[in-house]
């Protein structure tokens, strides 16, 4: 029997027509609180940095919109459940709004309405046999904590630890997969280097992002250690971090470009996930050397103490991966004397005009193999992968994207990569941060002019539902 199955597997696997999914690969969809919930000031919720940014600087959002209502999932979560039931996903990844649970960010005040909201959602998911996969922090920091310096304040690690403890206590009996922080690099580079996150106007080239990154890693590790010490035995779940990564393909085979591509990966992924618990050595040396040349008295990359390195080392039960794009990376020297992250990294990215925009599945396979080789083949859960477009219901490109990327994923598993989960961003169109509603990633169309925010399955939703049901990626 077993031989037959393996034989059948290899026949189908090698066939160009269709591809069977490994039986232990779980399939899901993802969202994030600010992007879907709305109810921005409902029943005791506190203000967060995205409320603040969109209210005070609508000019900084592409279409001058807000997430005040968004998909209105705060009121319409049962409609969300219908979509999940239609797709029959194994898991649903969503995030908790910190300021809905703890309006001021601290644990002195817990909002019962926020607790009830997430209890209802989690209970309904479990009733439907859908695993809740919960992100603690997906970018919507309580404004109150931002006023105290946000992620550049080292005490934020402690405040996050306390928030995590409350969440584990409240929901950890039912939630068995926790993601501490979504995309540390996006948070710190976006906000403090490139000035395209929230809050605005706090960018401080070459400096702020390293303070932010340092605190975020300590916050993540602190939450992980709290789970270990106080909850793991009773609750038996797992805790990881979600890292965003491109695949960095060397633009040429010249050693300068090959090294640049390695730096791109180390400055992006290596800084968050490492076997040593410390920053990658290439990063320590480059930021240190640049800082010296710029006449700083110490490195702009503040070091970890040996105790902190021990805290961080091994502080993830899995590697959560968000992947969207592949870039061609070349070496780039920045003669400029002013400090900057991009100068520290010393790379330049371009995309091949011959590529289908956003559809480079071989990059996904290479990235998964790189993670396998770099980190002793850790357990990987793909926590986001998706395709953005103008929002048509007849979303042909997204269907192509989905099939191609899932094929690349299965190929990577065949290469020996330990991937056990795949999660599409997103179950429905939503508020895409500074892009507002100008780009759509949903498997479902959401009518944002309709008070009922009607959700309609796109072609890709039918395709994904079929893949989940048949556990086969259909052929061309
Ligand atoms: C800093 O951020 C602001 C808005 O958030 C942006 O206009 C400006 O270009 C950014 N500066 C740099 C150097 O990136
Ligand atoms: C670099 O070398 C590899 C192996 O020889 C080859 O497959 C690849 O196409 C080369 N890349 C470029 C950009 O020339
Ligand atoms: C969206 O909803 C509005 C208001 O109910 C309706 O007039 C419009 O036809 C809907 N649009 C689509 C594309 O369904």
The pLDDT score that the predictor gives to residue 92 is: 99
Summarize pLDDT for 188-209 with one digit per residue, the tens: 999 999 999 999 999 999 999 9
CATH assignment of 2-473? Answer: 3.20.20.80
Answer left, alpha or beta for residue 198, where phi above 0 means left and psi between -120 and 50 means alpha.
beta
Alpha carbon distance 118, 320 (integer Å) = 22
Is the CB of 3 within 6 Å of ligand 2?
A: no
Q: What is the pLDDT of residue 356?
A: 84
pLDDT of amino acid 18: 84
Coil, strand or helix at 223: helix
Does residue 384 have an active-site annotation? Answer: yes
Q: Coil, strand, or helix at residue 271?
A: coil
Q: What is the pLDDT of residue 27?
A: 98
CA 368, 371, 376 angle in degrees (round to 5)? 130
List the residue whose alpha carbon is closest to atom 7 of ligand 3.
450
pLDDT at residue 358 in the model: 81
Tell whether ligand 2 has an atom less than 6 A from the beta carbon of residue 255: no
State the pLDDT at residue 179. Answer: 99
Domain boundaries, the chain: 2-473
Q: Which residues of the chain have a pLDDT value below 70?
A: 1-17, 476
Spatial distance between the Cα atoms of 463 and 476, rounded to a whole number of angstroms:
12
Which residues sit with their C-beta closer than 6 Å to ligand 1? 194-195, 200-201, 203, 205
Note the pLDDT of residue 14. Answer: 45
- Note if 37 is an active site residue: no
């Amino acid at each position: 029997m077993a031989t037959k199955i393996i034989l059948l597997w290899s026949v189908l696997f090698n066939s160009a027509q269709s591809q069977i999914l490994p039986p232990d690969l779980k399939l899901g969809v993802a969202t994030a609180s600010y992007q879907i919930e709305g109810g921005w000031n409902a029943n005791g919720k506190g203000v967060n940095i995205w409320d603040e940014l969109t209210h005070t600087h609508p000019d900084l959002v592409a279409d001058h919109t807000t997430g005040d209502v968004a998909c209105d999932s705060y009121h319409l979560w049962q409609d969300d459940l219908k979509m999940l039931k239609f797709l029959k996903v194994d898991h649903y990844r969503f995030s908790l709004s910190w300021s809905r649970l703890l309006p001021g960010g601290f644990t002195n005040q817990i909002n019962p309405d926020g607790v009830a909201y997430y209890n209802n959602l989690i209970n309904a998911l479990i009733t439907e046999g859908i695993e809740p996969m919960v992100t603690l922090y997906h970018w919507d920091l309580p404004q109150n904590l931002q006023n105290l310096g946000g992620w550049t304040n080292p005490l934020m690690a402690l405040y996050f630890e306390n928030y995590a403890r409350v969440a584990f206590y409240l929901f950890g009996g039912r939630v068995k997969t926790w993601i501490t922080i979504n995309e540390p690099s996006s948070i710190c580079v976006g906000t403090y280097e490139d000035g395209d996150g929230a809050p605005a106007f706090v960018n401080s080239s070459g400096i702020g992002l390293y303070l932010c990154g340092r605190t975020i890693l300590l916050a993540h590790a602190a939450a992980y250690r709290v789970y270990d010490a106080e909850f793991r035995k009773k609750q038996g779940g797992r805790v990881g971090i979600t890292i965003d990564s491109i695949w960095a393909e060397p633009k040429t085979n010249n050693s300068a470009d090959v090294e640049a591509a390695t730096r791109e990966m180390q400055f992006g992924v290596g800084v968050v996930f490492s076997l040593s618990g410390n920053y990658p050595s290439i990063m320590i040396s480059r930021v240190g050397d640049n800082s010296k040349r710029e006449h700083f008295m110490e490195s702009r990359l503040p070091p970890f103490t040996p105790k902190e390195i021990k805290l961080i080392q091994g502080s993830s039960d899995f590697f959560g991966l968000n992947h969207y794009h592949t870039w061609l990376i070349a070496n780039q020297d920045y003669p400029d004397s002013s400090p900057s992250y991009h100068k520290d990294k010393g790379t330049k990215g371009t995309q091949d005009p011959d590529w289908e925009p956003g559809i480079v599945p071989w990059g996904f396979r290479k990235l998964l193999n790189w993670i396998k080789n770099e980190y002793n083949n850790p357990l990987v859960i793909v926590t986001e992968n998706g395709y953005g477009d103008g929002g048509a219901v007849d979303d042909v490109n997204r269907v192509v994207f989905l099939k191609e990327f899932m094929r690349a994923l299965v190929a990577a598993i065949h290469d020996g990569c330990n991937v056990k989960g795949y999660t599409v961003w997103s179950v429905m169109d939503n508020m895409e941060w500074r892009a507002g509603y100008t780009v759509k990633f949903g498997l479902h169309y959401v009518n944002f002019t309709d008070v009922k925010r009607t959700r309609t399955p796109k072609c890709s939703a039918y395709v994904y539902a079929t893949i989940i049901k048949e556990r086969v990626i259909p052929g061309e």
